[in-house]
Structures are given as C-alpha cells and as structure tokens.
Chains A and B, each alone.
Chain A
Amino acid sequence: MRCYEVPNDVFTHLATLSPELIKATWETLYMTVVSVLFASLLGIPLGVILVVTDKGHIKESLKLNQILGSIVNVLRSFPFLILMLALGPFTRLVVGTTIGTTATIVPLTIAAAPFVARLVETSLKEVNWGVVEASLAMGASTWQIIRKVLLPEAMPSIILGTTITTITIIGYSTMAGVIGGGGLGDLAVRYGHMRFDYVVMVTTVIILVVIVQVIQSLGNLFAAKFNKN
C-alpha cells in the first residue's frame, strides 16, 4: 500500500494517470449517451403504448397492455449484472462481440428501455384527461393526440424522467468492467479497489459526482424551460 504524504505526489500520480482517466470518462459518457438514446427510442413508444392501450384510454387494448406490461416487469426484475451476462449471445448478434464499451451498450439499452417505458407511462398518465377529451371532441386521431397532446403536455416530466434514466445508466455502466467495458467504474475497481490506489478511486468518484450534478442540472433546466405552468 502506497502512502501519499506530500500533495505534490498526488498531482504527479494523477498526471501520469490522466490519459487513463480521460479515456475512462469518455467511455462512460459514450456508453451512457448512446444507451439513453437507444433506450428512449425503445422505451418512449413502449410507454406510449402502455398508456393508450390502458383501460378507458384512447386505444384501449387490454391484452396488448398486459403482455407489454409483463415483459417490462420481467426485464426490470433482472439484476443488471445478470442481465448483462445473460444477454451475451444477443449482444454478439447485434454488435459482433461480447466485450468492450460498445458491447456494454446492448445490455444497458435493454435494461434501461423498460425503465424509460415506465417513467414515460407515469408522465403521460399525469396529463389531464380533460385535455385528451377536448382533443377527441375536436376530432383528433390517436396519432395526433399522442404527438400533439400527450407528448408535448408531458414533456417537462419526460425530461426529468430521462434525467433519472441517464443517472441510473451511469450507475449501471460502472459494472461494465466485468465484461471489459471500460469506463470510470472499471477504472475505480481496477486501480482503486484492486491496487488500493485511493487517489484514483476518489478521483473517479469525484468525476462521477460532477457528471451526475451536471446532468441533473441540465435536466432541471430543460424541464423548467418546457414547463409553461
């Protein structure tokens, strides 16, 4: 176990490791951003379907609703670590490999999509039913109501939900080290935990805290911008 008594040592050490830190930060951001993007592409439509097919809603279809609801529940029950390993063959099918940062994006997306779906579902259910009824009375189609009423009205809430998703994915992504996915979590485990390098561990945690803070602030800012109440 190394000791750092002079602050200078700490800086020198960090300077040596800075390429690794920067690389890991980028890997984390890459995994997170791409996963959130794909998870939203899957999760938002899924959330919309869960809402509009619900009882009494504009496209009631209880069978479809129950089937999709069950799938979402099953996926959400998996511990991420297990999901990541279990999805190995699927990941290979999609991106050609089961290791590395890109390979991590597949399980991250699959884990986050049902999460996004539930958050979107909750957001859309908060939209005042009266507004939907008014749109129906104007002769709006299902698609028009989704695109022009439900999604815009729920936008501030969806943005905050996406913020939560992003932060959760950052958390999940730290487990990517297991499949050689890289990123800050991997770095913290390899240097901080296995080599007792507390400087690296503390630094990665600080970087994660900063990233989370920035994302939350941006989310709040955008949500406020869209909120006209």
Chain B
Amino acid sequence: MIQIRDLTKIYRGAAGEVVALDSVSLRVRKGEIYGIIGFSGAGKSTLIRCVNMLERPTEGSIIVNGQEMTTLYESQLRTMRQKIGMIFQHFNLLSSRTVFENVAFPLEISGVAKAEINKKVTNLLELVGLADKAQSYPSQLSGGQKQRVGIARALANDPIVLLCDEATSALDPATTSSILELLKDINRKLDLTILMITHEMKVISEICDSVAVIEGGKIIEEGLVIDVFTQPKHSTTRRFVQTIINTDVPDKIRERLLEKGQGQIIRLSFIGDNTAEPVVSSLVKHFDVDVNILYGNIDQIQDTPFGMLIIECIGAKANCDKAVAYLRKQGLRIEVLRSAE
C-alpha cells in the first residue's frame, strides 16, 4: 500500500547540510498497522511527512496505492492528500469550529454536498464515540476527546491510508490505550492501512503488526513486531524493547547464577504455542538430568505469549548435551550460558 524506496531528505541551511533521512526503504502492506519507532531527532517525523509530501523528499520514491507521490502536480497532490488521513500529536483542530464543523472541514474541502456532510459527520462522531459533543468547541474537550475528533476528521474522506504522527504522545497512559484501541478497531472494521510514528514501544506492542526502528535517518531494524521484540538485533532496538519487557537478565542476577552450582546453565526463549508444552518436565523424564529453574519471565505481545527461562541442567555432560539438542528440536531458542564441567 505504501512503498518507500531510497528516500533521502537533506535540509540545507546556513549551518550546512543536515541529512534527516538517509536512503530509507520500507513497505507497508494493505490492512496492516506499521509502526516506526525512534528517539527524537531520528527522522521519523520527516519520514511520515514525506509520505503525503508535507516534506519534499530530496531523493527517492514514495508510492501510495500505486501512485508515485513525488511527481504529482499541485492539484493532483491535493486530490491524493484527501485520500490520505493524518492525525497529529497536538491534534491540530480548528479552535474556531465546533467538533461537528471540524469533522465536516475535510468534506467541505473536497466539495461534498451539505446533506451528505451531515450524514457522514454524524456517523463518524458515532464511530469515535463523540456523538454528544457535536456542538462543543475543542477547548471544551479533554486530550483524548480531541484526538477522537482528529481521528473522525482524518476518516471523513474515506482514506486509503491513515498516518499517525505521535498520535498518543500527548496523552496519559489510560487515554493512550483507549485511543490505540480505537485505531485498532478502525483498522479491523475498515481494513484501513495505518502508518504510525512513535517513540513509545508500548504503542508498537499494543497495536502494530510490523515495526521499523529508525536511528540517524536510517532504518536499522525492521520486521514483524513479535520477531523484533523477541530477537532484537540492534542495541537501540534492545533499548526500546527493554522499556516495556525485560528480555535481558540483569547483570547482578547473571553473575550470581553463574557463581552457583556446577551444572549447565541454559537460557530458553520461547514464542507462542511452545509456552504450553511441558518441556522442562520432559527433560527430567527422558534425559536423566535434574533441572533447576533459576530465572524466568513471560510476557505477551498482542495475542502472542513469549518469554524466557534460565535453567540449570544438572547431570552427566552427555545427558545435558542431549537435553539441549532436544530443546533445540522443540523450536526453542537456546543459549548455553555455561557448559557443564
């Protein structure tokens, strides 16, 4: 649905050139929620603004729904933008208009008839749960309600893509969750492709299907959320992942573990259904080893449980090795932290 190829954006200022985006490529499939995460200054804001040409790319190509964006004339671009909804961190509602009029605004722009506008706006306010606030002004609303208006407004022209620019960053955690739920709901109901940027891993873990990590204007890691979460490759990704789940054993605990005992210490990581298998008791039954559970945690991303367990395998070295081989066959990710003596 969105295809970005070799996108580069260079700002030329008095202080010289600043490379905001450096040859970024990514693909967002139809109907998915794609998250781009990065620290501030990583270039994510520039990236999302390039999709609807609020920022002109210096180089590269952006294709939305089969349409190359970079070569559009102004009037073609306006028509195309009507089909790309966008919501913002600070909502950007018109303070002089009521909630109803704010949602009607994009419809006025695209020249929809009055009766049709009334019908659509009413439905949209129903969808975002603000039917009773139609005649209120934005200043009378809470942050979460303002973002709901923003969402209704972004959906008014039946967009093919929704861009979310830090849509929940100005909201408290409870409101963030309710807005994310609404976005997920819309994504499912309307089969709407969503591209969002954020600096909060929580947002990614709650609703995104795919994620890209951006740093210094480059995509440093990309993939399905579950994969990136369970096997982060880049240190920045690991930092993000650790903001919500602890996949690493704290150093102190690791030291203590390695001091004690003399068995083989193994770290198992598991994703999804494996968590239901009684692998540990199988080890004991079939390989003539004792198993001591040293450390563990389990978490869930969307509907997929995943976790990590550190066990000590006590027994003959041959038996321990066989046990490890067995574990590998179960589709678990195995890391031997200390071999048996």
Considering only residues 179-229 of chain A, those with a C-beta below 8 Å from chain B are 226, 228-229
Tell me if B82 is interfacial: C-beta within 8 Å of chain A: yes
Q: Which of B77, B96, B108, B163 is within 8 Å of A152, CB to CB?
A: B96
B54 near A153 with CB under 8 A, answer no
Tell me if B94 is interfacial: C-beta within 8 Å of chain A: yes
A137 near B54 with CB under 8 A, answer yes
Tell me if B95 is interfacial: C-beta within 8 Å of chain A: yes
Tell me if B109 is interfacial: C-beta within 8 Å of chain A: yes
A80: shortest Cβ distance to chain B, in Å? Answer: 34
Chain B, Cβ-Cβ closest to A144: B109
Chain A, Cβ-Cβ closest to B98: A228
Chain A, interface SS category = helix
B94 near A152 with CB under 8 A, answer yes
Tell me if A131 is interfacial: C-beta within 8 Å of chain B: yes
A186: shortest Cβ distance to chain B, in Å? Answer: 41
A136 to B81, CA, bound (A): 8
B82 near A134 with CB under 8 A, answer no
Chain A, Cβ-Cβ closest to B107: A138
Task: Say whether, besides A155-B96, A229-B139, A148 and B105 are in contact (CB < 8 Å).
Answer: yes
Q: What 0/1 readout, one digit per residue, does chain B (273-315) give for beta carbons within 8 Å of chain A?
A: 0000000000000000000000000000000000000000000
| A residues less than 8 Å from B157 (CB atoms) | 138
Chain B, Cβ-Cβ closest to A132: B92
Q: What 0/1 readout, one digit per residue, does chain A (140-155) give for beta carbons within 8 Å of chain B?
A: 1100100011001101
Considering only residues 88-104 of chain B, those with a C-beta below 8 Å from chain A are 88, 90, 92-97
Task: Say whether, besides A130-B88, A133-B54, A229-B139, A139 and B93 are in contact (CB < 8 Å).
Answer: no
B90 near A130 with CB under 8 A, answer yes
B52 near A131 with CB under 8 A, answer no
- Max count, chain A CB within 10 A of own CB: residue among B95, B138, B153: B95
B81 near A137 with CB under 8 A, answer yes
A130 near B92 with CB under 8 A, answer yes
A228 to B140, CA, bound (A): 9
Tell me if A18 is interfacial: C-beta within 8 Å of chain B: no
A229 to B109, CA, bound (A): 24
A136 to B80, CA, bound (A): 11
Q: What 0/1 readout, one digit per residue, does chain B (69-82) give for beta carbons within 8 Å of chain A?
A: 00000000111111
B94 near A153 with CB under 8 A, answer yes
| B residues less than 8 Å from A137 (CB atoms) | 52, 54, 81, 84, 86, 163
- Max count, chain B CB within 10 A of own CB: residue among A133, A134, A135: A134
B167: shortest Cβ distance to chain A, in Å? Answer: 12
| B residues less than 8 Å from A148 (CB atoms) | 105, 108-109
B20: shortest Cβ distance to chain A, in Å? Answer: 16
B interface residues, how many (CB within 8 angstroms): 29
A interface residues, how many (CB within 8 angstroms): 21
Tell me if B60 is interfacial: C-beta within 8 Å of chain A: no
A210: shortest Cβ distance to chain B, in Å? Answer: 32
Tell me if A128 is interfacial: C-beta within 8 Å of chain B: yes
| A residues less than 8 Å from B96 (CB atoms) | 152-153, 155, 226, 228
B92 near A228 with CB under 8 A, answer no
- Max count, chain A CB within 10 A of own CB: residue among B52, B94, B138: B94
B109 near A149 with CB under 8 A, answer no
Task: Say whether, besides A133-B54, A137-B81, A228 and B95 are in contact (CB < 8 Å).
Answer: yes
Tell me if B106 is interfacial: C-beta within 8 Å of chain A: yes
B52 near A140 with CB under 8 A, answer no
A131: shortest Cβ distance to chain B, in Å? Answer: 5
Task: Say whether, besides A130-B90, A136-B54, A229 and B106 are in contact (CB < 8 Å).
Answer: no
B78 near A134 with CB under 8 A, answer no
Chain B, Cβ-Cβ closest to A141: B78
B238: shortest Cβ distance to chain A, in Å? Answer: 33
A60 to B218, CA, bound (A): 30
A148 to B104, CA, bound (A): 12
A128 near B54 with CB under 8 A, answer no
Chain B, Cβ-Cβ closest to A154: B96
14 contacts between A and B (CB under 8 A): A134-B93, A138-B86, A138-B109, A139-B78, A139-B81, A139-B110, A140-B78, A152-B94, A153-B94, A226-B96, A228-B95, A228-B96, A228-B97, A229-B95
User: What residues make up the interface of B, taking CB atoms closer than 8 Å to A?
Assistant: 52, 54, 77-82, 84, 86, 88, 90, 92-97, 105-106, 108-110, 137-139, 153, 157, 163
* Given A135-B105, A139-B110, A153-B95, 15 more pairs with CB closer than 8 A: A128-B92, A130-B88, A131-B93, A131-B94, A134-B92, A137-B52, A137-B54, A137-B86, A138-B109, A139-B77, A139-B78, A139-B80, A141-B78, A148-B108, A152-B96
